[in-house]
Amino acid sequence: MFLQIATEFATVGSMFSPSQASRPVAEDKLPALRRLDKGRAWNSLDDQLYCTICKTVISGRQIEVVGGTNGLRALHLKCSTPGCFSTPADWLVPVKSDTVREIDILFRDNGA
């Protein structure tokens, strides 16, 4: 078990540079998104999320993988919008505007 964890740690360490936003190649980024954001089923880098902090729709291609394996900061994900420091907990799957409109009508009219 320890060897498996150490091997995975070393593999991730070779993919990303420590303590700064990294730009992993596409074939490495999708597995990183899946591993670091377990609350979502990442089907592709084109999957989109809505950032509730900066009010922007971002894709897996835009999300930044930051941190490092030097023991000082854990590898994590952040929004790519300048000045926004949101993390996966702040992101929602966007809904179509028709769905939002229907929900709004339901709540405004008290379901009548």
Q: Give the pLDDT confidence of 37-79 residue by residue, as tens digits.
A: 988 989 999 999 999 999 999 999 999 988 776 666 788 899 9
- How many degrees, rounded to 5, is the angle at CA 65 between CA 60 and CA 67? 165
Extract the tokens encoding 104: 């709004």
Cα–Cα nearest to 21, from 78, 61, 69: 78
This prediction has a pTM of 0.62
Any domain includes 47: yes
Any domain includes 107: no
In whole numbers, what is the pLDDT of the chain averaged over residues? 75
Any domain includes 6: yes
Any domain includes 24: yes
Provide the number of structural domains found in the chain: 1
What gap in Å lies between CA 64 and CA 24, rounded to an integer? 9
Cα–Cα nearest to 63, from 40, 29, 92: 29
Any domain includes 64: yes
- Residue 94, pLDDT score: 81
Any domain includes 101: no
Q: What are phi and psi of 77, to 5 degrees?
A: -105, 150
Higher-confidence residue of 106 and 112: namely 106
- Domain range enclosing 74: 2-95
User: Residue 80 burial (CB < 10 Å; 0-12/13-18/19+)?
Assistant: middle
